[in-house]
Structure 1
Amino acid sequence: MTRSRFMTDITSSLQTHNNGPHAFTERSASFGIRRALLVGHNNYSWTILKILLQQFGFDVVDSENGLSGMKRFHDGEKYDVVFINRYMPIMNGLQATHLLRNMGFMIKIVGICSDDCHEEFLEARADAFQIIPMDRIELAALLEAIGLIN
């Protein structure tokens, strides 16, 4: 199966999934539009995360590395949550998390990694950590734990 076909199948499956305890409903989006910033390289896991966040009613913005993510804050953009990858060129997720906290931003920050770097993100003062890929149930539990859905 080609990459393009794979992504089409995954995207279609995620967009039509509307069953189970964490299905997208009007209620889950009733708190108004929330904004999420995804900071990291775009791959399958990030594409899935983006689609899932959209299903929970988030407007999702991408940024390719920590430096470009920081520029968005410097430019005054507002977000409810930042999902930030540990491994990135130019400025990694730990550096960007430290910088956001040192600048006084109290935004919810979720450290994302494909291996266990939980302690590193907690030391950087992230609000939560999640190994990717994650599914809809894991994302719902995470968003609930940081107070963005109920």
Structure 2
Amino acid sequence: MTSYVEGSPVKALIVEDSAVEIMVLSAMLRRFHCEITIAKNGKEAVQMFLEGKKFDIIFCDKDMPVMSGPEAIEKIRTLGEIHVKIVGVSIDNAQEEFMRVGADEFLPKPMELDVVGAIIQEVIKKKNNDTV
């Protein structure tokens, strides 16, 4: 188990093919001092886990080229990544589809800062509790 320094940055992975969406979500996450990594599609995200990279939270878009969000989430969970919080994100109501493959939450686009902030606070609290 990795130990975290109090207040250490949350490692966030944004899986998104839209440059605008990446900019918007990155700006939100920077407000909470997150360490941000970008994957342009689901296959890139899965590859990062195969390489041993670890994240505290993933924001994963639904419709992307190469591999969709739900496909990527299913593969990431199959790799045994059960502790990472996964948030499915889509312009259409895809909550059921994301939950079925192992997402923890679903956020409709456009995402709101206070909702993203609440989720990040939850992850920070969990990280701090894991060190106790």
Structure 1-normalised TM-score? 0.74
Residue 91, structure 1, aligned to residue 71, structure 2: no
Runs of 4+ aligned structure 1 residues displaced above 4 Å come to none
Q: In percent, how many aligned pairs have the same letter?
A: 29
SS state at 2:123 partner: coil
Note if contact 2:10-2:124 (Cα within 8 Å) is conserved in structure 1: no
RCO higher in structure (CA 8 A, sep ≥6) = 2
Match of 1:80 among 45, 50, 56: 56
- Change beyond 3 A, Cα 1:142–1:34: closer
The answer (yes or no) to whether the contact 2:17–2:41 under 8 Å persists in 1 is yes
Q: Which amino acid aligns with 2:49?
A: F
Question: Aligned-pair distance for 1:138?
Answer: 1.8
Q: Matches of 2:66 and 2:90 in 1, distance apart?
A: 17
Task: State how many pairs are aligned.
Answer: 119
Structure 1: where are the runs of 5+ without partners? 1-29
Alignment counterpart, residue 56 of structure 1, candidates 32, 46, 53:
32
* Letter of the 2:34 counterpart: F
For each residue in 1:69-103, what CA deviation from the matched residue of structure 2 results, as whole angstroms up to 9, or x when unmatched?
Answer: 11111111111111111101111001111111111
Alpha carbons 1:112, 1:130 under 8 Å: kept: yes
Look up the match of 2:123.
Answer: 148
Distance in 2, matches of 1:57 and 1:74, equals: 26
